[in-house]
């Protein structure tokens, strides 16, 4: 039970995929313009990671060592395509705004890294805990980046069509910079420095 | 994981690929219809904002022309126009009424700068195209009917130019 | 011809892979500490990108599309790219040892580099022809190499600068990337 908790909480802070490991930065920066996108991306990412971890942990005794990486890649690519097709068919709005970054989950280094480093060496329950923990860590990072970008970039916050609140002076003169691609680099850089300053993560 | 040589690894990989293909064909069978329906619905929504009374539309793949219908009567024509803006290609859906006036434009996709060039997608700019004559598709400084947007000159010029070229290329379908 | 030139510069500068499309960020931050390794990485990516585009384009348009199998593209593309990287690595090792010593360690990393797969997808999504795809890949690779070199040049000087503790390493690199991106914004509207 204790190891389960450890495997779960590792991905949230101590080994946060985005802020600590700096893996999977591409989707984090590209689709973090709104909270909707952040939630959608986290959902797709966590589903693929969870399913890949489960399948790999169940097959870990059977997969021949020599072809394990190609096998992992095929499993992940299949899962990603399933998510991609499902989103296109049933949530077209989300599919359109996330665009290419759904199929690109396949080259997200975190998923292959977890399959190789964790799921192929641990049982199913531990692998589920690991995947959910990393999913939550990824989600928290995505939400904090997109919160800052949407708030400063538009002056108001919306989530799935529901209006949360508006900051009037900011809504009249939104800081468009935050919605630009460069704004993403800036926000992640500042947040990263902030977490280090607060002692959440170590400096280099 | 045990180290094994020979054909087993290759066989295993083949089996995994086979299962993957089966899973994907099954997913494709489930999602093919909804995806086609979702794409049609997206086009329907865009056409309807140009032709509010529309209740059906036809698409001719060869000419790339959409024909919106209201209770079976054609309302005009719509087609895509592509033009090069500030940050990349701008895709525009142009609606043309039967009386040779514009029914308006819809910006389908663009990569213009948020807050500057991206304002071409806002109603305040798009609505300028509604109801104007074909000959008036030009900026007001050139004697046309379209007012520009400050700090978005390149994007605005690209849209006006793209719409005008696409319209004149399609005019023969009206003869 | 003017269309091809436009695609090249659009991919290299205006819609730069790293700064605008957010592709290939891992090598951008991981391998930009030294100028020499940045250059090698850039060339390796350029090479693989070009070959990958030349191979994935016919696979999609001649095999998958005519049979209504477009949904297989992610699986097929990633397998093809992984095999290509292996083949290129072996070929370089056999034919040119100097080149292998320079690029060798970067090649395996490229398989999971989203820039390669991303450009292959862009070529399909933008319905580029074969020649246009090659030019797009060339432009994307050249743009990637360019910003990687600029970045490593700045970071080599940054090592000597008095950076606040919390900003050392990656955070300050991200801020530099911000400024670099703003500078590249000036290329917009060029074509």
- Among the partner residues B28, B87, B113, nearest to C15 by beta-carbon distance: B87
Spatial CA neighbour of A29 closest among A144, A109, A200, A125:
A144
Helices C170-184 and C130-158 pack at an angle, to 10 degrees, of 130
pLDDT of residue C191: 62
C90 CA: distance to closest CA in chain B (Å): 20
b/e map of C146-173 (b: 16 or more CB within 10 Å)? bbbbbbbebbeebeeeeeeebbbbbbbb
Q: How many CB pairs under 8 A join A and B?
A: 81
Are C188 and B86 a contacting pair at CB < 8 A?
yes
**Is the pLDDT score of B138 beyond 90?**
no
Interface probe with A: pick from B12, B42, B109, most Cβ of A within 10 Å: B12
The answer to whether C10 faces chain B, any CB pair under 8 Å, is yes
The answer to whether A170 faces chain B, any CB pair under 8 Å, is no
Mean pLDDT along residues A146-161: 82
- The Cα A14–Cα A127 span in angstroms is 17
pLDDT of residue B1: 43
The answer to whether B151 faces chain A, any CB pair under 8 Å, is no
Radius of gyration of chain A (CA): 18
Are A89 and B30 a contacting pair at CB < 8 A?
yes
**Is the pLDDT score of A1 beyond 60?**
no
Mean pLDDT over each residue of chain B, to the nearest integer: 83
pLDDT of residue C104: 66
Which pLDDT band, with edges at 50, 70 and 90, does A80 fall under?
Answer: very high
Are B86 and C72 a contacting pair at CB < 8 A?
no
A105 CA: distance to closest CA in chain C (Å): 9
CA A92, A150, B159, B56 torsion-angle sign: positive
Which B residues, 46 through 85, put their C-beta within 8 Å of a C-beta on chain A? none
B97 CA: distance to closest CA in chain C (Å): 30
Residues in B touching A74 (Cβ below 8 Å): 13, 16-17, 20
Residues in A touching C29 (Cβ below 8 Å): 22, 25
Does residue A72 contact residue A115 with C-beta atoms inside 8 Å? yes
Spatial CA neighbour of C113 closest among A109, A112, A71:
A109
Residues in A touching B16 (Cβ below 8 Å): 71, 74-75
Nearest CA in chain B to A83: B27
Could you report the per-residue pLDDT of A84-117, keeping only the tens digit for each?
Answer: 999 988 988 888 888 888 888 888 778 888 888 8
pLDDT of residue A43: 92
**C-alpha B14 chain-centroid distance:** 41
- The Cα B139–Cα B160 span in angstroms is 7
Nearest CA in chain A to B115: A176
B86 CA: distance to closest CA in chain C (Å): 4
pLDDT of residue A202: 59
pLDDT of residue A174: 77
Mean pLDDT along residues A117-136: 88
- The Cα C149–Cα C141 span in angstroms is 12
Digit-by-digit pLDDT tens for chain C (191 residues) are 778 888 888 888 888 888 888 888 877 887 778 888 888 888 888 988 999 999 999 999 988 888 888 888 888 888 888 888 888 888 888 887 877 777 766 777 777 678 888 899 888 888 888 999 999 999 999 999 999 999 999 988 888 888 888 888 888 888 999 999 888 888 876 66
Spatial CA neighbour of A134 closest among A60, A62, A64, A42:
A42
- Percent of chain C scored above 90 by pLDDT? 23
- The Cα B36–Cα B29 span in angstroms is 12
- The Cα A32–Cα A69 span in angstroms is 30
Which pLDDT band, with edges at 50, 70 and 90, does B61 fall under?
Answer: confident
- The Cα C130–Cα C120 span in angstroms is 11
Interface probe with C: pick from A22, A41, A107, A149, most Cβ of C within 10 Å: A107
Written in H, E and C, the secondary structure of chain B is: CCCCCCCHHHHHHHHHHHHHHHHHHHHHHHHHHHHHHHHHHHHHHHHHHHCCCCCEEEEECCCCEEEEEECCEECEEEEEEEEECCCCEEEEEEEEECCCEEEEEEEEECCCCCCCHHHHHCHHHHHHHCCCEHHHCCEHHHCCCECCCCCCHHHHHHHHHHHHHHHHHHHHHHC
Does residue C31 contact residue C18 with C-beta atoms inside 8 Å? no
pLDDT of residue B2: 46
**CB hemisphere CA count around C7 (13 angstroms):** 21
Q: Where are the domains of chain A?
A: 2-197
A108 CA: distance to closest CA in chain C (Å): 7
The answer to whether A56 faces chain B, any CB pair under 8 Å, is no
- Among the partner residues B21, B24, B88, nearest to C10 by beta-carbon distance: B88
- Percent of chain B scored above 70 by pLDDT? 95
A34 CA: distance to closest CA in chain C (Å): 16
3-state secondary structure of A164: strand
Mean pLDDT along residues B106-119: 82
Nearest CA in chain A to C114: A107
- Among the partner residues B2, B24, B38, nearest to A81 by beta-carbon distance: B24
Range of the domain at B130: 1-175
- Our count of domains for chain B comes to 1
CA distances from B157 to A144, B73, B101, C16 (A): 38, 34, 20, 23
What are the phi and psi torsion angles at A34 (to 5°)? -145, 160
Task: Annotate A45-79 with DSSP letters as a single string.
Answer: HHHHHHHHHHHHHHHTTTS-GGGHHHHHHHHHHHH
């Amino acid at each position: 039970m204790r190891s389960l908790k450890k495997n779960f909480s590792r991905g949230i802070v101590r080994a946060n995929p985005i802020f600590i490991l700096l893996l999977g930065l591409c989707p984090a920066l590209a689709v973090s313009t709104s909270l909707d996108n952040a939630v959608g991306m986290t959902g797709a990412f966590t589903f693929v990671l969870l399913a890949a971890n489960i399948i790999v942990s169940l097959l870990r005794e059977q997969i021949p060592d020599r072809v394990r990486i190609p096998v992992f890649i095929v499993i992940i690519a299949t899962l990603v395509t399933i998510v991609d097709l499902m989103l296109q068919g049933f949530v077209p709005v989300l599919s359109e705004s996330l665009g290419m970054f759904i199929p690109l989950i396949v080259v997200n280094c975190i998923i292959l890294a977890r399959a190789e480093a964790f799921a192929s060496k641990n049982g199913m329950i531990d692998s589920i805990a690991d995947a959910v923990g990393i999913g939550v860590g990824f989600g928290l990072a995505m939400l904090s980046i997109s919160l800052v970008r949407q708030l400063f970039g538009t002056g108001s916050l919306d989530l799935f069509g529901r209006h949360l609140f508006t900051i009037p002076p900011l809504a009249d003169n939104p800081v468009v910079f935050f919605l630009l691609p460069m704004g993403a680099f800036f926000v992640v850089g500042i947040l990263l420095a902030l977490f280090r300053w607060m002692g959440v993560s170590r400096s280099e | 994981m045990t180290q094994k040589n020979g054909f087993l690894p290759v066989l295993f990989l083949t089996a995994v690929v086979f299962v993957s293909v089966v899973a994907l064909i099954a997913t494709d069978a489930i999602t093919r219809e909804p995806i086609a329906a979702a794409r049609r619905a997206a086009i329907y929504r865009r056409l309807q904002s140009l032709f509010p009374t529309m209740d059906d539309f036809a698409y001719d793949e060869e000419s790339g022309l959409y024909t919106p219908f209201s209770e079976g009567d054609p309302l005009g024509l719509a087609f895509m126009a592509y033009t090069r803006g500030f940050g990349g290609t701008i895709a525009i859906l142009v609606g043309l009424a039967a009386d040779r006036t514009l029914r308006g434009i819809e910006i389908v996709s663009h990569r213009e700068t948020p807050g500057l060039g991206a304002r071409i997608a806002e109603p305040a700019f798009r609505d300028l195209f509604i109801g104007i004559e074909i000959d008036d598709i030009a900026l007001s400084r050139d004697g046309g009917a379209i007012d520009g947007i400050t700090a978005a000159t390149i994007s605005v010029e690209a849209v006006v130019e793209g719409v005008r070229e696409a319209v004149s290329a399609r005019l023969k379908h009206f003869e | 011809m003017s269309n091809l030139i436009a695609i090249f510069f659009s991919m290299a500068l205006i819609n730069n892979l790293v700064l605008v499309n957010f592709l290939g960020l891992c090598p951008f931050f991981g391998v930009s500490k030294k100028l020499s390794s940045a250059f090698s990485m850039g060339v390796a990516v350029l090479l693989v990108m070009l070959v990958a585009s030349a191979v994935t384009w016919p696979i999609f348009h001649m095999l998958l599309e005519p049979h209504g199998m477009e949904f297989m593209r992610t699986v097929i593309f990633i397998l093809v790219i992984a095999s290509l990287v292996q083949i290129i690595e072996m070929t370089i090792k056999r034919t040119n040892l100097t080149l292998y010593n320079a690029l060798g360690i970067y090649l395996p990393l490229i398989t999971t580099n989203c820039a390669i797969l991303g450009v292959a997808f862009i070529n399909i999504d933008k319905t580029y022809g074969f020649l246009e795809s090659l030019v797009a890949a060339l432009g994307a690779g050249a743009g990637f190499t360019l910003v990687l070199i600029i970045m490593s040049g700045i970071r080599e000087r940054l090592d000597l600068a008095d950076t606040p503790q919390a900003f050392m390493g990656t955070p300050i690199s991200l801020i530099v990337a911000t400024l670099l991106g703003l500078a590249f914004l000036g290329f917009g509207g060029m074509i």
